[in-house]
């Protein structure tokens, strides 16, 4: 049982779609799938702009999102309050960009006012792009992307977004918020196995593409967009993952955007209520808690690493650990994608029983599950 923030569980409809025989990618049958997928991806992204698919993990999608629109020596402003924010700083530096960082402690959100100040001070318009992780999975924190994007729009730089654990788990209205490049990956909110990177590209980003000189070939997004206009792909796509994407997007459409977001919010709130009821401290505050993952701190009696180990050995359930300096100090519960009340009730019951057996028992037996159940009942 996968209760980690990716890879996430895959529904049977999606698994069965993948089990079909592979078909040629230059066929009418494949083009029909590509067309359907493109249309539904635009729906999910709430955009009229291009949404492209590449064979890569989320990091590949982000790399593509950076190298297509920038040139070596360009200044970028990157937010970092966790592992993934750090990663985009590294990717940017690897490609010779000049990176200014705005940081916050892991567990705290980035402060939009810091972006505003840096952008307003840049009267020469040297900052070419701002890079922000919407849902910082490593700490279970959602950054205020809408506010930051507003400042970026006023300045004129490109807004490049890691939406890997927010797309499909929270509303990411690409056009309304003015997001230029938005990256996500199939193994998170899409209810699919790993393997596809998804990138939306605004008209403003395409204009930047024209003068961007960083080297690119496989990830040259113009090739993907030219082909997508004809319901084709530039290279051999992972055909069976397209079957899966078509099936998962159809499931999402049937559920509806508002229901999907409400379900994720409910699962997050139930998880947090349960952890509080069993005296497990939460890393992030309520108002910034990610709908994708909840980071929980270990205590003197209930060690985070032991909880993860026992969850695996006693319940065959995977929880995620902490990364970098939070390694050993926290565990993370994923609740995004193909997840429902049953999963959160099972996970919180398992964690409660482990925590109790470790001697942290100053709560009424069943208090955690009961708190989760109450939230789930609404």
Ligand X SMILES: *Cc1c(COP(=O)(O)O)cnc(C)c1O
Say which residue the tokens 């990177």 belong to: 197
Q: Is 180 in the site for ligand X (CB under 6 A)?
A: no
Minimum separation from the CB atom of position 37 to ligand X (A):
19
Cβ atoms of residues 203 and 158 within 8 Å:
no
**Does residue 8 touch ligand X according to CB under 6 A?**
no
- Do 65 and 179 meet the contact criterion of CB atoms below 8 Å apart? no
Strands 330-334 and 293-297: antiparallel
How many whole angstroms separate alpha carbon 303 and alpha carbon 104? Answer: 25
Per CB under 6 A, 143 contacts ligand X: no
User: Cβ of residue 374: shortest distance to ligand X, in angstroms?
Assistant: 29
* 294: contact with ligand X by CB under 6 A: no
User: By CB under 6 A, which span of 133-141, 271-279, 281-289, 312-320 interacts with ligand X?
Assistant: 133-141
Beta strand pairing status for 75-80 and 127-133?
parallel
In 3D, which of 288, 49, 6, 40 has the Cα closest to residue 145? 288
Nearer to ligand X, 5 or 109 (CB): 5
Among candidate residues 351, 345, 350, the one with its CA nearest the CA of residue 373 = 345
Instruction: Give me the helix-helix angle, 221-228 and 203-211, nearest 10°.
Output: 130
CB of 196 within 8 A of CB of 186? yes
Choice between 81 and 135, CB closer to ligand X? 135
Q: How far is the CB of 210 from ligand X (least distance, A)?
A: 27
Q: Which is nearer to ligand X, 162 or 352 (CB)?
A: 162
Instruction: Spell out the alpha helix ranges (H) of 196-303.
Output: 203-211, 221-228, 239-255, 257-277
Q: Is 162 a residue that touches ligand X (CB under 6 A)?
A: yes
Say whether residue 198 binds ligand X (CB under 6 A).
no
Using the minimum distance from each CB to ligand X, give the nearer residue, 30 or 338. 338
- Considering only 58, 140, 237, 238, the residue that binds ligand X (CB under 6 A) is 58
44 touches ligand X (CB under 6 A): no
**CB of residue 368 to ligand X, shortest distance in Å:** 25
Can you tell me which of 6, 107, 140, 193 binds ligand X, judged by CB under 6 A? 6
Q: Which stretch binds ligand X (CB under 6 A): 8-16, 53-61, 98-106, 270-278?
A: 53-61
Burial of 233: CB neighbours in 10 Å, binned 0-12, 13-18, 19+? buried
Q: Which of 31, 46, 59, 360 binds ligand X (CB under 6 A)?
A: 59
Overall size of the chain counted in residues: 378
Determine which residue in the list 38, 47, 81, 133 makes contact with ligand X, applying CB under 6 A: 133
> In this structure, how many other beta carbons lie within 10 angstroms of the beta carbon of residue 365?
11
DSSP string, 5-47: SSS----HHHHHHHTSPP--SSSHHHHHHHHHHHHHHHHHHT-
Minimum separation from the CB atom of position 268 to ligand X (A): 15
Which of residues 52 and 278 has its CB atom nearest to ligand X in the complex? 52
298 part of the interface to ligand X, by CB under 6 A = no
Q: Rule CB under 6 A: is residue 137 a binding residue for ligand X?
A: yes
**How many CA atoms lie within 13 Å of 370's alpha carbon, on the beta-carbon side?**
7
**Which of residues 77, 164, 326, 330 is near ligand X by CB under 6 A?**
164
Closest to ligand X by CB, 237 vs 334, is 334
Q: At closest approach, how far in Å is the CB of 140 from ligand X?
A: 10
Indicate the residue among 3 and 355 with the shorter CB distance to ligand X. 3
Torsion angle in degrees (nearest 10) through CA of 269, 271, 275, 278: 110
Span interacting with ligand X, options 159-167, 217-225, 265-273, 336-344, rule CB under 6 A: 159-167
Rounded Cα distance between 239 and 229, Å, is: 18
Give the integer Cα–Cα distance in Å for 136 and 80: 9
Q: Does 106 bind ligand X (CB under 6 A)?
A: no
Contact with ligand X (CB under 6 A) among 185, 238, 322, 334: 185
By the criterion CB under 6 A, which residues form the site for ligand X?
5-6, 57-59, 84, 133, 135, 137, 162, 164-165, 185, 188
């Amino acid at each position: 049982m996968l209760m980690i923030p990716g890879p996430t569980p895959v529904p049977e409809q999606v698994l069965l779609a993948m089990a079909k025989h592979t078909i040629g990618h230059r066929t009418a049958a494949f083009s029909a799938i590509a067309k359907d997928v493109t249309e539904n991806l635009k729906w999910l992204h709430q955009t009229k702009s291009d949404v492209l698919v590449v064979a890569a993990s989320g990091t590949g999608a982000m790399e593509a999102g950076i190298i297509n629109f920038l040139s070596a020596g360009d200044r970028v402003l990157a937010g970092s309050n966790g592992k993934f924010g750090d990663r985009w700083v590294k990717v940017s530096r690897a490609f010779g960009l000049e990176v200014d960082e705005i940081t916050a402690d892991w567990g705290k959100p980035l402060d939009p006012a810091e972006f505003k100040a840096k952008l307003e001070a840049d009267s020469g318009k040297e900052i070419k792009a701002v890079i922000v992780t919407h849902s910082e999975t490593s700490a279970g924190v959602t950054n205020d992307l809408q506010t930051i994007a507003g400042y970026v729009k006023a300045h004129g730089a490109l807004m490049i977004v890691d939406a890997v654990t927010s797309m499909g788990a929270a509303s990411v209205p690409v056009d309304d918020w003015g997001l230029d490049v938005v990256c996500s990956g199939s193994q998170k909110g899409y209810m699919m196995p790993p393997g596809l990177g998804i990138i939306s590209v605004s008209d403003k980003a395409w204009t930047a593409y024209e003068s961007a000189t960083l080297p690119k070939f496989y990830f040259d997004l113009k090739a993907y967009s030219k082909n997508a206009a004809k319901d084709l792909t530039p290279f051999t796509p992972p055909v069976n993952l397209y079957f899966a994407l078509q099936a998962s997007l159809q499931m999402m459409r049937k559920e509806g955007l508002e229901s999907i977001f409400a379900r994720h919010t409910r699962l997050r709130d139930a998880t947090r209520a349960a952890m509080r009821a069993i005296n497990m401290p939460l890393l992030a505050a309520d108002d910034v808690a990610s709908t994708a993952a909840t980071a929980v701190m270990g205590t003197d009696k209930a060690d985070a690493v032991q909880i993860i180990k026992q969850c695996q050995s006693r319940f065959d359930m995977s929880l995620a650990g902490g990364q970098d300096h939070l390694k050993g100090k926290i565990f993370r519960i994923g609740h995004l994608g193909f997840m429902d009340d049953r999963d959160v009730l099972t996970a919180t019951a398992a964690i409660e029983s482990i925590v109790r057996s470790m001697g942290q028992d100053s709560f009424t037996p069943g208090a955690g599950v009961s708190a989760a159940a109450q939230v789930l009942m609404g």
